[in-house]
Every structure is written in C-alpha cells, then in structure tokens.
Amino acid sequence: MRTRFKILAMLLGIAGIANAQQKDIVSYANTRQGTNSHFGLSHGNTYPTTSLPFGMNAWSPQTGRNGDGWKYQYKADSIRGFQQVHQCSPWVGDYAVFSLMPVSGPLQVNEYARAAAFTHDAEIVQPDYYKVTFRNGTKTEITPTERGAHFRFSFPAKKAAYLVLDGYTGMSEVKIYPKERKITGYVRNGAFIPKSFKNYFVVVFDKPFEVYGTWEPGPNKITEGNQQAGGKGAGAYVKFADGATVQAKVASSYISPEQAELTLTRELGNYKSFNDTRNAANNTWKTLFNRVKVEGGTEEDKATFYSCLFRANLFSHQFFEYNKEGKPYYYSPYDEKIHDGYMYTDNGFWDTFRAQFPLNTILHPEMEGRYMQALLDAQSQCGWLPAWSFPSETGGMLGNHAISLLTDAWVKGIRTFDPKKALDAYFHEAMNKGPWGGANGRAGWKEYYQLGYVSFPESHGSTSQTLEYAYDDFCGYQLAKVTGNKFYEQLFSRTMYNYRNQFDSSTGFMRGRKVNGDWVEPFDPFEWGGPYTEGNAWHWLWSVFHDVQGLINLMGGNEKFVAKLDSVFSQPNKVNPGYYGGMIHEMTEMVEGNMGQYAHGNQPIQHMIYLYNYAGQPWKTQQHVRNVMDKLYSATEDGYPGDEDQGQMSSWYVISALGFYSVCPGTDQYIIGSPVFGKATITLENGKKFIVEALNNSKENVYIQSATLNGKPYSRNYITHEDIMNGGTLVLQMGNQPAKNRGIGEDDKPFSLSKR
C-alpha cells in the first residue's frame, strides 16, 4: 500500500510539473501590480490596463470619480465604469476618456448611483483579458485591440439589463442608431489637448435595444427615446432584454467618425465572438513574452518579471491610424493637421530615457526607428522636440532628453532619421526656453552657458538641470562625432563637462551655486528641493552618466568613490523636506524602502548601484541589484517602490533581471549586474537569439565568479549592443561569495569620457 501511495504521489508531482509548464505565459502578468496607491504614497500609481503593446487606446475599470487621476485604487470596493484610457501619470490626469457601465435593475446614470460592489477575488486581471463579477451578479469582460476593445456584459436572469455610456468631464456628443444597434459620438477632454481635438468613437452591440435615450450629468436628466445629445459629459443609455448577455465592439479615432468606423471594421470585423478577439490578444502578448523567455527562478520571480515586461511595453502609445489603403496617417496634436506616417505620444522622457527606450532598442528596433523620425516630425510641427507629450507637448520635468533617444538609436544602428536635422533641433532646444514646462527648451540656459552652471535661486532645480544638460550635451556631442558634424561636436564638447562646476570638494556633493559663484548656504545633504529636483544631494551626486570616471576623479579616486557609494546605504533614511515644506510621496517611499538614502522610487538614483563597476568593485553592484529587485519589486498591488512612470521602473527591473543595465544611453554599452534567472533567452527581431545563462544561480548565489561570452573568457563589466544583436550566449558562473579579482582591470571598466 505504501508503495502504491508513493507511485501516486510521484504521478501527481509529474502532473503538477506538467501543469506548471503548460501555464499560459501571459497569465503571469498581474495588471493590478502597483495599484495600492494614493496621493501620499505610490506603490506604482498604476491601474489594471487591458491593452495590446503600445496600443493607441487602453482600457481600465474605474473606481475613482470622473476626473480623478487615481482612476483605480486597490482599496476601493466598487466600480463605476470601464474607461478608455491613456493616462501615463495620475499627476497629469487623462484625456480622450469615455466609459461604459452595465447597470442591473433600475436605471442609474450618475457615476455614484450606478457604481457596483466587487471584490478582488472576483477579478481576472491579465494584459489580454479583464473580467469582474459584481456582487449583484453582473459580469463585465474586456479584451483589447490596438485602437478598440471587445466587451461582453452578462446580466443576471430576469434582471433589467442597461448599458450606460458616460461622456466624462469635457464636451461630448452621442448619437444612437437603434436599427443598427450602434452608438457614435466624440469626447473632448484632457488638460493638454489642442483646440480642434476630438476623439470620435463607435460602439456596436450584438443585441437589439428595447429602450434607449440620452442623459446629462449634473442634473442627471434622462431623456428616454432621444437619439442625440451634446454638452459637457453628455451620455447615452440602452436597455436590452432582461438577463441578456451582450457583446459590444468599440473603436475610436482622432481623425474622423468615418475613420473610427473603418478602424472598427479593420480591427474587430473579422472576430465573430468575444473569444476570437481574446485569442488574438492573447497570442499577441504570448508572442512578445516568449521573445523574452526566462527559466529558473521562482514562480513569484516570473510573475514579477512578466508583470514588469507587460508595463514596459505599454508606453508610448501609438497616435497613428490606418487609412483605406492600410497606410499610416495621423492627426497631429501639435499643429492640428493630418499627416502621413507614424506618431507616438504619452511619454515623459526624463523618466524613460534611462531604461524604457534602451529596452526598446533591443526588443523593438523597427518601432524605435519609426519613433525617432516621429520625434523630428513633431519638432517640425510645433517648433520643439517633445519632452513629455500627452498628447501634445507639456514640457514636464527637466532636461532635453529627446537627444538621448536619438543618439542612443543612432549608435545602436537605428538610422531612420537625418542626424543633421536632429542636431539642429537639439541646438534650438539647448539655446532657448520654450513656452511650456521646464523641459521645453532650457530653464536657465543663459547662465548655463555664461557661468557653466544654472544658478540658484534664479532657477529651482538648478543643480539637477546642470547635470542633465551636461549629459544631454554629451549626447549631442556623441551624435555629432559619429556622424562627422565638426561644428556641433566642437560646440557641445565645451559644455558636456559642466557637471564639474556643481561639485564642491569640501563637502563631496553636487551643490547649488549663486550667480556670483558662491555655494548656496546653508547646506544640508538631506534637504530636498531648492537646487535639486525631487531629491537631495545624496541622490543627485551620481548623475554624471557619461563620465563616471570624471566623477571618480573629482571625488579623489576609487576608494573614496566606493566609500561614498557605500554610505548611501549606511546613512539614516531621514528626510528634511526643505523647500517642499512637507513630505511628498517620493520622500515617504524612500523612508518606507528603508535602504538609507537610496531612493529607488524616483529616477535620479536608479543607476547608482551599477557604478561600482566603474571603480573596481563590481561584486557590490551584483549584491545591491539583487537586493533591490528582491526587496522592492513584486507582482502584487504593492509591486513598486514609487511611481512606475510610463514603463521606466518596469524596464529597470526587466533589464536588470536579465543581467545588465543602460547607465549611459547614447553609448552602445550595457553594464553587467546579476541576473535573477538561471537562463534568459531574448529572441530578436532579426531572428537571432541572445542568451544569458547564470549557472548555479539562486537567492544566495548572486555573485559572478567567472564569465564567458560565446565560449571565450570574459572579464569586462559591460556588454555591447552589438554583442546582443549578433546573437550569442553570455554564461555567468554564480556563487555566494564575491569574486574580488574579477572585473577589476582598467579594460574591464565601462565607457567614461575621461577614460578615452
């Protein structure tokens, strides 16, 4: 009998392994990752996006009121609609929003009255599929296309079945066509939309209307039988047979109502059933996820990895559509005209130049090439390179990082644009201040060139601006150098070292300076704001991406540099709110992370732990990288240590989990860290595969003992883009103790200007 039980147990174990192997790779991605957020504390500030990669539109359940940037919060217990969404940050809101909501029982149109209770146990949250069953028994299912979605609403037996369309916060118009079982219209909402902007939508149902009408928010006036309405937030409703199961196909266009109809036919016309559309969406994500296949690691590691890979492939959104001939064209959010070609939007480059775009150069070089030309098209249409588009230019944050994207693409062989036009556009950006936010042109540009730094208090965030301008000038220099443009090469070579003018050797920090050259007093390295943007002196010391060796020299050599790196983690996690006057969420997140002054929840310091590779102690990078990934990331609602920021934080994890990171975009190097998985296989667009094998890898064995690249011993602390794109295998032998004699030679160090 005991033997029989052993055999049974063995068979069950084999079956369990088989089931694990057969698990749909897409189901690893939890789209609720990071949704347990609020104004004062971000675990991602995300929402459960249902979308295709880089889709023009995405969809999300809505727990917050209309206009609330926190459109879905994990703690909420009711949903009031299912929105078309584009939001890249709760701090800027959303645009082109409308929502659909099933109402069971008496008709309720008001967003509060129609809200239905739910629990998270009744949700399925995947990239290709969202489902919720409300406590009242009504079900909503969503599956996406690039510019639309397929819905299925299931109502309880013998219960009235209404569907309410909400026009959201701005001007809207609705038209009902009972015989065609269709609603069309447009919405016009968003803080950064041009005057002529409209998002035209069409919704087609598979069941006839028994009753229909329009409604107005505010007074919540319902007009039964009315087929057309317009005004602020104007909406529509339709009623189906009691207990019905109804499918709805939705698409929208920024160009015209006719284009919305064409898109509906093109993207959803061939799918007879909801399940057909879902299978197509699932296959799209499955294909992408299988292009970055990881093996080994725990199930939790895989869930975190694929949840992050999902978010790394959402932004930027496509802003182009396909005409009758299948050619791309778009309504420009910049000059409000129709143009042929490709356009993208919804991205803040201050966040994403660091990891999200470098990841695109690996996974999506064809799209990246289209994107680079779109940047120059946008510049010609509005006079400025985009910095944060949403959908038109906002100028958010600081720096002129479009040049980072352009240079990074060029040095990695993506050459779909005219480099002279790119440099001309950047020169204009660097020598002027635009009409929008701090990253539209350059705040403090005159002082930057006259003094060699941006002065304080003439420009708040001045030290941060100087550091990022110097890096951007390096990118301008780099693009000019590799394309033979001597004028711009010489011009930007004069300013790419301006970071030196912010370094105070007496304190060992980058500091604010006055117009007369004096340091800003008093000085407290724990104080946030003032000369620093969203951080303090501990965070901004390291923003010399292009010349880490130069920074090491300023700080007195490798030993002192490493000691300063170490001290970031040994310092108390205290905060002096300083110029902010009180705690902001980035401060709270650093304190909660409990890693000293290492504030991974915001961009300025995210590359810092890779800098040990430049100073002869790469094993410390390996230890810290694995600790950060293990401690600060998960696939849960608390999955991020701060704002996810249009894929940047997710991309940081994805690249780091693969075993490397892009410290200095604009060069062809990725700095080696410590991979999470025993094996990762990247299938490239060119059909080749790049494999990272980490032998004997585990939670304890985080240190690289030895390495080979394509069978040859490899001691360098970086790999090149060419290494990846040519295909091959990087094998790392892992252990639980540092290999202190590996990767310490001068030739093992990554690129720095001062190391040429």
Q: Report the CATH number at residue 85.
A: 2.70.98.10
Last residue of a domain, one of 252, 274, 292: 292
- Residue 518's CB is within 10 A of a number of other CB atoms, namely 10
Q: Does 615 reside within a domain?
A: yes
Q: Does 19 reside within a domain?
A: no
Q: What percent of the chain has pLDDT over 70?
A: 97
Position 20 pLDDT exceeds 70: no
Cβ-proximal residues to 499 (8 Å cutoff; 6+ apart), any chain:
466, 467, 470, 471, 510, 543, 544, 547, 550, 551
Last residue of a domain, one of 273, 292, 311: 292
Residue 496 CA to chain centroid, in angstroms?
28
Listed residue (210, 119, 95, 201) closest to 163, CA to CA: 210
Q: Does 283 reside within a domain?
A: yes
Range of the domain at 253: 25-292
pLDDT score for 674: 98
Listed residue (658, 626, 669) closest to 730, CA to CA: 658
Average pLDDT over residues 130-149: 98
Lowest mean pLDDT among 13-27, 55-69, 304-318: 13-27
Both 742 and 722 in one domain: the answer is: yes
Both 251 and 398 in one domain: the answer is: no
Residue 19: pLDDT band (50, 70, 90) is: very low
| CA count, 13 A, side-chain hemisphere, 552 | 21
Average pLDDT over residues 228-245: 98
Last residue of a domain, one of 238, 262, 292: 292
Both 250 and 312 in one domain: the answer is: no
Both 393 and 512 in one domain: the answer is: yes
Q: Does 604 reside within a domain?
A: yes
What is the distance in angstroms between the CA of the first residue and the CA of the last residue of the chain? 73
Listed residue (670, 675, 560, 567) closest to 615, CA to CA: 560
pLDDT score for 756: 67
pTM flag (> 0.85): yes
Q: DSSP for 122-139?
A: GEEEETTEEEEE-TTS-E
Both 226 and 355 in one domain: the answer is: no
Both 152 and 174 in one domain: the answer is: yes
Both 135 and 161 in one domain: the answer is: yes
Strand ranges of the sheet holding 328-331, from the earlier edge strand across to the other edge: 321-322, 328-331, 338-340
Enter the DSSP assignment of 393.
Answer: B
Both 153 and 256 in one domain: the answer is: yes
What is the sign, positive or negative, of the torsion defined by CA atoms of 330, 334, 336, 339?
A: negative
Both 510 and 429 in one domain: the answer is: yes
Q: Does 151 reside within a domain?
A: yes
Residue 558: pLDDT band (50, 70, 90) is: very high
Q: Does 753 reside within a domain?
A: no
Both 420 and 275 in one domain: the answer is: no
Cβ-proximal residues to 419 (8 Å cutoff; 6+ apart), any chain:
406, 410, 479, 480, 483, 485
Q: pLDDT tens digits, residue range 473-487?
A: 999 999 999 999 999
| Overall domain count for the chain | 2
Both 362 and 487 in one domain: the answer is: yes
Q: State both tokens at 2.
A: 């005991």
338 touches 385 (CB < 8 A):
no
Rounded distance between C-alpha atoms, residue 746 and residue 756, angstroms: 11
pLDDT score for 120: 98
pLDDT score for 3: 42
- Please provide residue 717's backbone torsions phi and psi, each rounded to the nearest 5 degrees: -95, 20
Both 266 and 383 in one domain: the answer is: no
pLDDT score for 690: 98
pLDDT score for 755: 84
Average pLDDT over residues 391-418: 97
CATH code: domain of residue 321: 1.20.1610.10
Q: Does 18 reside within a domain?
A: no
Q: Does 16 reside within a domain?
A: no
What count of residues does the chain have? Answer: 756
- Residue 339's CB is within 10 A of a number of other CB atoms, namely 18
Residue 79 CA to chain centroid, in angstroms?
25
Residue 1: pLDDT band (50, 70, 90) is: very low
Average pLDDT over residues 446-453: 97
